[in-house]
Amino acid sequence: MTQSKQARDPAATVVVGEGDFRYSPDLSWGTLPDGWTLGDVAGVAVDSRGRVYAFNRGEHPLVVFDASGEFQESLREDLFRHPHAIQVAPDDSLLCTDDIDHTVRWLEPSGEVRLQLGKPGRHSEFMSGKPFCRCTDVALGPDGSLYVSDGYGNARVHQYSPTGKLVRSWGGPGAGPGEFNVPHNIGCDATGYVYVADRENHRIQVFSHDGDVVDIWQGFHRPSALFVDDAAGHVYVGEIGPYYAHNRGTPNLGPRITVTDMSGRVLGRVQGDPAAGIGPDQFLSPHAIAKDSAGSLFVGEVSSAAWPMLFPQTPEPSMPRLRKLVSLRTTETTSRT
């Protein structure tokens, strides 16, 4: 018993992006049981079997789809207060960050808790540097270390051992090298480098595994999603648009997805209509990005949170929270063989 897939005109092909990063939104992807809806999808991840995890702020916070978009199950409805980010480890375990609960939970694929960092509902003092005060994301390093961005009430990155022992912390409030103004997302590559979306400083900072600044990438607008595709040598950055009355709607600032190489050089942007909106070629607030084995992207959006900022005088409509963008490069390559 699932809801009908959203109908669309098959003759109307919508394309977003440029060059090697061109995609067609799949408006029919994703079914849910009757009466179910997704809340804002703050996190999205894809496992080794192509299963898609929508970590969302609805009644069913951890919804699992198969690769075709069919609903599979809902995990741990008893556990989360305010989902913020999710990543999948190589063994298909799940790294889940809850900012309002001030916790990071490492779940087995079954949903059982393997490891918990932080004390549920208890936070450190604002900007104390101690874990956690509204943590935002967690990444797994190649040596098994866990790196937590502690971003809304702190300006730190905390490194933990695989067993949950705090190894070190770095950062502090500010705009200089190694300082943060809302470290919002975090990722690791196979060399152990740590990538941090320093959102309100409009940049990505790259660190060694022990917290030394390696590089700083400028030229982003409020990066709010980060996916490190180490195998392909790409980094996908979700940027949100301006919210202030005096700059709302300014072009060339987002919302969009920017793709770089591993040195921060921009390779392309995934964007159709540059204005914020709910159309198939628009974004509202890309808050999470994941990629499947076919090269397609899944983009989680915090639509309800963004709407009053972008359209303060307009009632909130029914909006997409999770988008699948089908890679046209993969489709074209397959059709030629």
First to last CA, the chain: 38
Q: What is the mean pLDDT of residues 138-149?
A: 98
* 332: confidence class by pLDDT, cuts 50, 70, 90: low
pLDDT at 172 over 50: yes
Q: Specify whether the CB–CB gap between 44 and 54 falls below 8 A.
A: yes
In whole angstroms, give the CA distance from residue 227 to residue 326.
17
Q: What is the mean pLDDT of residues 254-272?
A: 97
Rounded to two decimals, the pTM is 0.94
pLDDT at 62 over 80: yes
Q: What is the pLDDT of residues 179-223, one digit of tens each?
A: 999 999 999 999 999 999 999 999 999 999 999 999 999 999 999
Closest CA to 220 of 274, 264, 180: 264
Q: What is the mean pLDDT of residues 67-73?
A: 97
Closest CA to 187 of 245, 244, 229, 124: 229
Q: What is the pLDDT of residues 16-48, one digit of tens each?
A: 999 999 999 999 999 999 999 999 999 999 999
pLDDT at 12 over 60: no
**Mean pLDDT over each residue of the chain, to the nearest integer:** 94
* 259: confidence class by pLDDT, cuts 50, 70, 90: very high
